[in-house]
Amino acid sequence: MTRGTLITIEGLDGAGKSTLADALVRELAARASHVELLREPGGVEASERIRALVKDPALAISPRTEALLYAAARAQLVQERLEPLLREGAVVVLDRFVDSSLAYQGAGRSLGIEEVRAINRFATGHIAPDRTLLLRISPAGGRMRLHERAEEPDRLEREGEDFFAAIAAAYEDLARAEPQRIRVIDATLPPEQVLRDALAAVEDLLVPSARSH
């Protein structure tokens, strides 16, 4: 099947994912004819509404509900936007994907990685990232960067140290289990270096003859 390329960006809140995503898309646009940037939860109208709901600190949302809401937002994004883009051959940079649910809901909320993987398989079908850039930052480092932002913390950002420590550990386990797909990048380096490392980690995907599918 001819298809595009899916590059996902993962990491703790405050790791600098959005900054990298913007810069990466600018660089990739010079090398590929069709490059798109999407984010999760969001990217299409229904999923953006779920995003507002799931981040609202005024709402009580149980862990299972939370996992299902993220999966529902993902299912809509995949069907409405991601699948068509990949079918057209686009390079898609996606700010968070299934690994976020595995780390945040599977480990952070203690629902279990495999349980959360199963509902996401249902939500996304066969779609898997070609490459995942994991921005590594310590929970304390991520928290410090969040505090530097002017915005009020959302429902998840209000969680305590144990929650983020469990997420960080889960990301490390995922990266160890799939070293070919998940490339770890030191998020404490200056943004220009983070971008250079990210480009080096996806370079092989941009050479058509090096593609395996």
- CB of 104 or CB of 171, closer to ligand TMP: 104
DSSP H/E element including 99: helix 98-101
Residue 32, exposed/middle/buried by CB under 10 A (0-12, 13-18, 19+)? middle
Name the minimum Å distance from CB 3 to ligand TMP. Answer: 22
- CB of 156 or CB of 194, closer to ligand TMP: 156
CA end-to-end distance (rounded Å), the chain:
7
Q: Which residues contact 64 (CB under 8 A, 6 or more apart)?
A: 111
Name the minimum Å distance from CB 96 to ligand TMP. Answer: 4
Name the minimum Å distance from CB 80 to ligand TMP. Answer: 16
Name the minimum Å distance from CB 29 to ligand TMP. Answer: 22
Name the minimum Å distance from CB 207 to ligand TMP. Answer: 30
Tokens standing for residue 194: 């983070």
- CB of 156 or CB of 201, closer to ligand TMP: 156
Q: Report the residue number whose CB is nearest to ligand TMP.
A: 104
**Residue in 20, 19, 169 with CA at minimum distance from that of residue 102:** 169
- CB of 100 or CB of 132, closer to ligand TMP: 100
Question: Could you tell me how far CA 64 lies from the centroid of its own chain?
Answer: 20
Q: Which residues contact 63 (CB under 8 A, 6 or more apart)?
A: 105, 109, 110, 111
- CB of 5 or CB of 105, closer to ligand TMP: 105
Name the minimum Å distance from CB 38 to ligand TMP. Answer: 11
- Helix 63-77 × helix 45-55 angle, to 10°: 160
Residues found near ligand TMP in the complex (CB under 6 A): 13, 39-41, 70, 96, 100-101, 104-105, 156-157
- CB of 40 or CB of 130, closer to ligand TMP: 40
